[in-house]
Amino acid sequence: MKNIFWFACVFILFATGLVTAQSTPDRYPIIPRPAQLIQQNGAFLVNVSTTLQIPAQPAEVRSMANHLAEAINRVGGLSPTINILSTPTEPGTNQIQFVLRPDSSLGSEGYRLRVSALGIQLEANEPQGLFYGLQSLLQLLPAPNLGTTQLVEIPACQIRDKPRYTYRGLHLDVSRHFFPVSFIKRYIDQMARYKFNQFHWHLTDDQGWRIEIKKYPKLTQVGANRPETIVGHYEEYDPQVFNGKPYGGYYTQDEIREVVRYAQARYVNIIPEIEMPGHALAALAAYPELGCPNTDGKPRTYAVATKWGVFGDVLCPSERTFSFLEDVLAEVMALFPGPYIHIGGDECPKQTWRNSPFCQRLIRREGLGNAHALQRYFIKRIDSFLVSRGRKLLGWDEILQGSSPRLKLSAGATVMSWRGIQYGVQAARQGHGVVMTPDKFCYLNYFQSDPGREPLAFGGMLPIQKVYSYDPTPAGLTPAQQRLILGAQGNVWTEYIATPEQVEYMVWPRAAALAEVVWTEPNRKDYTNFLARLAPYHLAQFRAEGVNYAASALTTLPKERLLSKATNKPYILLTQPHPSRPDHGGMLTDGIMGTLGGYEVVDFVSFWGRNFGVVLDLGQSQPVQTITVGFVKYTARDICLPRQVDLAVSDDGQTFTPVGTFPANAAEQGRRGIVRMPFALPAGIQARFVRVLAQNVGRVPAGMRHPGAVAKLAVDEVTVD
């Protein structure tokens, strides 16, 4: 009956000309975009007599009403009265009503919002539906106006909304860098605004153990602290440079409980991650007996990692280790009431197990065959323990390794597909729930615009438009398998993110784009429309709250251009570049400098074990005073400066006259970078053609990261002045 009433209202609105076909983004700047929004003329104006009407139960609705009243006060200086009703009443004039009313079509998280000149009614099946409807209503309030009061005018509309996916997640790594409870709460606040409902808290790794475990105090006494931290990227310097500053931090169990309660009030479930069997150096440093012993039976010694990467030392699959992990997980489960416990499972090197007599005996005893199956054995043991406690295992897609019928994971085990899409497809076809988080779409620690203008980041490139373009449900799945795609998650790994401000810079506004990916049906997505809703309204909200969002994510910054007599002039390469770094046509004279972004070398022409030679045609004979060549110095990647550079000029392109030989220091180490070498020619040189020959040193000199390896030359822009 209610549905008939709803559609009748829509028909009347269309018939009377009060509805327009498309919602105006700047009038209805709701992110994520609702499933249905019917725009109407007019608005509801909050005044001194406006009241909020809420049900007596459940109690959490009162906090929602308080939140709305506070928001109205911040915007307009008004303080609406909150009235608690024992039974729902018909909408009254000048009221904002919160109503819990059965409607199976909305599910547990859907809501219906009606705004007219007379009043506002927000309806849902469950309190969380009211909460998400409240987030949409808050986004219809006027944007902040530098603290000055203004009219609180809410545009008339009818919204019917529910999410596409049940899992809408953001992740935060606190192991590489630690963030205080106050910031974790702030992070959760921003998540809730955009209707995320899962916070994946990465609490342990090689570089730090961040959660108090009562039974094993050395996990935080030892494992939470490292003596220093590498400076820059793993390969930024050759040799590596460290800051010499002790680093540590962890959350007490009381702090964990406080954050869990805070998140629950915002309908955010927290998923703790305890990494195993790899990424466990912090645990091994605290309790070395958990590692595989030396051949003499004595425990090895370990230290909390001071650099990034993957380490060969992993937990030993012994009964002592499993007892330890069950004790740890028991305390973790007592703190986190949600259904999922994340156990990592990624990037576990197997060589330690292959070299371990104990592991080899275990492989033979259990009929496992190899170390990959031993990982499945390890994961299966933990899976069974979690199931026995009524929980579900969640792990990175490597938990699928070592498949065998005997070691089949439980039906509730859920896979996070991070190494691409294919592992999510594999998991769904095996009947497992899947959270899609492929790095190319979901790693918010990647660069978001030109790396040359961005703060240090992990690497890769993930602009906001690419985030928005993602569809978490892969093609090629049956309807039943599609239902196993639970949603998607944005990940924030913090090797190069040391402060709360930098976390926010990397996350926002890209996470707002991801919020629409996981909430809004694909046929309602429109990138241009999204941008119109995002700016200026949401950016004004960020500024008002001091959220350090990345404006660069929304601007196209042209690369710096080097202009010279050689710009856009043709040239002939005298030696062929390596296929992995070819010349894409004019790269050496297009005026666009290459960049070193993260671990990547971008827009360079590379010569592995070969010399570099080029002849430039300046078009006509003219004075030539200086020739400048850009070389990459990245000796940790075996990219060395040349041994020497020989220059020659010609008027006919056939007969060349040498004009200078310039030695270079191919053994130069230090920080990686682009070295632009200017070579001054003798006075009075005039030529049309310029030849540059750079001699590769051949083998990486002694004292570098990989002495004796094949040396590479990487060449950037060549300019002539």
Q: Of the listed 347, 545, 583, 617, which one is catalytic?
A: 347
User: What does the alpha-carbon distance between residue 556 and residue 539 come to, in Å, rounded to a whole number?
Assistant: 17
Q: Strands, DSSP E only, in 429-567?
A: 433-436, 485-490
User: What does the alpha-carbon distance between residue 461 and residue 487 come to, in Å, rounded to a whole number?
Assistant: 22
Buried-exposed string 86-103: b where 16+ CB fall within 10 A, e elsewhere: eeeeebeebbbbbbbeeb
H or E, element range at 394: strand 392-396
User: What does the alpha-carbon distance between residue 341 and residue 387 come to, in Å, rounded to a whole number?
Assistant: 10
Q: Determine whether 342 is an active site residue.
A: no
Q: Strands, DSSP E only, in 223-295?
A: 225-226, 237-238, 247-248, 269-276
Residue-wise DSSP of 127-179: HHHHHHHHHHHHTTSPPP-TT-----EEEEEEEEE--S-SEEEEEEE-SSS--
User: What does the alpha-carbon distance between residue 313 and residue 399 come to, in Å, rounded to a whole number?
Assistant: 18
Contact 412, 393 (CB under 8 A): yes
Residue with tokens 């030392």: 313
H or E, element range at 512: helix 510-519
Name residue 415's beta-bridge partners: 395, 434
Closest CA to 514 of 569, 463, 574, 586: 463
Say whether the peptide bond before residue 277 is cis (omega within 30 degrees of 0): yes
Name residue 645's beta-bridge partners: 662, 694
Structural tokens at position 605: 């022409």
Q: Of the listed 202, 279, 432, 538, which one is catalytic?
A: 279
Q: Of the listed 123, 161, 205, 275, which one is catalytic?
A: 205
With left for phi above 0 and alpha for psi between -120 and 50, is residue 698 left, alpha or beta? left
**Cβ count near 439 (within 10 Å):** 16
Q: Determine whether 706 is an active site residue.
A: no
**Cα 53 off chain centre by:** 40
Structural tokens at position 163: 């999410």
Buried-exposed string 60-80: b where 16+ CB fall within 10 A, e elsewhere: ebbebbebbbeebeebbebeb
Contact 700, 707 (CB under 8 A): yes
Structural tokens at position 684: 């009075």
User: What does the alpha-carbon distance between residue 447 and residue 104 come to, in Å, rounded to a whole number?
Assistant: 42
Residue-wise DSSP of 576-631: PPPTTS---SSTTTSSBPPEEETTEEES-EEEESS-EEEEEEEEEEEE--EEEEEE
Closest CA to 33 of 419, 377, 532: 532
Contact 407, 380 (CB under 8 A): yes
Contact 657, 708 (CB under 8 A): no
Residue-wise DSSP of 164-227: S-SEEEEEEE-SSS---HHHHHHHHHHHHHTT--EEEEE-EETTEE-B--TT-THHHHTTTEES
Helix, strand or coil for residue 712?
A: strand
Q: Determine whether 372 is an active site residue.
A: no
Structural tokens at position 211: 């959660």
Question: Would you report the helix, strand and coil content of the chain in percent, each value rounded to 5?
Answer: 30, 25, 45
Contact 374, 368 (CB under 8 A): yes
Residues with a catalytic annotation lie at 205, 279, 347
